[in-house]
Structure 1
């Protein structure tokens, strides 16, 4: 695959993750009487990854997340020379998705981005459950590291073939079930950047955490699996194969 094909695949995949996941929270979770709730939002994020893993895993590896790209590099599965392309495409996809989601949500006269938000991440005042910076930082590092462990383990050449997208999608669902009350769940700087740029204010001020913590978690998770798993026979550069 060419770099253009890989970059476009990452752009489209990350667009789908942010529009589908954040869209479920903004458009469906708060819908009167039939809102999908926390469980529905968590499933929506997981399903975006499952569907795109099958759709573009063979093109770009379906990273959809700068922390995954960095973690796969730390795990010996990805070439550092391709990291800027992937991360730029992921962030761009997340930003476009957030602005398009705002456009759709604004079609409801009762919607206000100031009052209703756009599924932005946060801690303290920005946390759904009022969790502080330390709690948010800790859980974002921990869950991103676990996410990388799931990704690298399920795509290991010794793992059962064909099930990686399901393991990864279900893993992301569980991560959201755990941490939506804490930070609204990031584990993905691209997912956080789009909504923060749209909402501004405290979401933009706190965006730094949702870059630093997931990237650290990705590095830890990738390095840990490379060290403990000793996956010499693993397939390179694949999240969704």
Structure 2
């Protein structure tokens, strides 16, 4: 199982939000490139980066910070936030992003997402963010009535590399990852699922790994605030994730 340290970008700095609220942000590092180097030095071999301003604006906003991260380390970067068309996805992939995350597009422009999956095999992830089990879009500002599992099923066979499933109600508050919902989604579709939101300690990573051992198709977990404030030790997290299921 993979560990994805999170670098969430707001106004050029690394922050963590609480439940996706932009006005409830904690700045952890004003140098995203330095943060990327720190995660790489700790042994992490991939990064999850989100352009928070871009998610609300519907276009890339923190491009400079993202490019600085790409220049600072050779670790593959998974990027989401503000990617709403194929031209933007292509531009990021051409600049060296390993995988782009399409969230709002999956709801509002599903045919384009399927085109992206076909055009860039293995380089498109679906971002499914849920509040109360229902999908939220536009930087989590809009929540509808579409169940997360139903959205995931719509992309079966499309060729998506992964689904990043975020429980918004737990994101950034160290409430513990929603293991049950993540495992249920991972059993409902064949697309690998990456858990996100609420990781508070290595116990959450161990609980997800137990679901992997039980047959759930969970590919990895994104860890944010718990890494920044020291609740999760990188070596311990990587050890648990790397053990045989």
Same-fold status (TM-score > 0.5): no
Higher helix share: 1
Length-normalised TM-score, structure 1: 0.26
Length-normalised TM-score, structure 2: 0.26
Higher strand share: 2
